[in-house]
Copies of this chain bind each other. A is one copy, B any other.
Amino acid sequence: MVKNAPLPISSFPTPHLTVDVVLLTIDQGAMKVLLMRRTCEPFADHLVLPGGFVREHQTLDATARWVLAEKARLPDVEAEQLYTFSEPARDPRGWVVSVAHFALVPASRLRAVLTDAGEDADLQLAAISVEPSGEVSLALEGEVIEPGFDHLSIIATAVERIRGKLDWSMAAFALLPPEFTLYDVQRVHEVILGRPVNKAHFRKRMLERPMPDGRRLIATGKFQRGHHRPAELYKLEEHAA
């Protein structure tokens, strides 16, 4: 695989390079990940992360966006690079290195895609369980499932990453609709961290401290009516631009 640019770069074999995307959401009080059912070997009929080969003259980010748009039918979703997986045996077909990315989307938007696409798209939302030890497992309608390739490791890495950056990032808001109650935000944090957080303190902190990008939470004056006392809806301040 010698390049014809000024000089040959090297005579060694080159790997196939792919991007796999861990699309996380919070649905019914649980972290879930989008998987696709494979139709061919290897791992035919297994569920795997959506992914695709990196094309020449394309960046990894662009490939991740392409995967999200084409395979998950989610244009306009940003992905962040997670880790590059290179175990030689990770793909039985040969030498395939995968740059894992992760992305966050509100369950409402994902549900729309799933029902719109119907079942023919073979898109599934698997629930993620995280042991206190950090071990991760997946379940579909209560049944534990084993994803293909090394994709369980990739998902575990994504969970670890989002837990680590939750506090100083806007991650929670990427998982929520544009307007939300403070309890919604708290529940997102609790689900991701896998433990309860202090209500009074959490609310104070969210309202007093601006987000990493400088924006604050502002009350909309609107209320979410439920069976009991309505909760006020908040939104992120507009971008200062």
Contact = CB atoms under 8 A, between A and B. Distances in A.
Interface string A82-96: 011011100111111
Given A1-B14, A9-B94, A41-B7, A84 B60 contact: yes
Please report whether the interface of chain A is mostly helix, strand, loop or mixed according to DSSP. loop
Given A15-B14, A15-B54, A54-B15, A5 B88 contact: no
A153 to B, nearest CB: 13
- Could you say how many copies of this chain the assembly holds? 2
Contacts of A88: 56-59
A96 B6 CA distance: 13
A14 B12 contact: no
Interface centre among A14, A41, A59 (most CB of B within 10 A): A14
A226 interface: no
Contact of A42 (B6, B13, B53, B96): B6
Interface residues of A, number: 41
Contacts of A81: 83-84
A40 interface: yes
A115 interface: no
B59 A12 contact: no
Given A3-B40, A7-B94, A14-B17, 13 more contacts: A1-B16, A3-B16, A3-B93, A3-B94, A5-B40, A5-B94, A9-B93, A9-B94, A9-B96, A10-B16, A14-B15, A59-B88, A60-B84
24 contacts: A3-B16, A3-B40, A4-B94, A5-B93, A5-B94, A6-B42, A6-B94, A7-B94, A9-B91, A9-B93, A9-B94, A9-B96, A10-B16, A10-B53, A12-B55, A12-B56, A13-B56, A15-B17, A57-B88, A60-B86, A61-B86, A81-B83, A81-B84, A84-B99
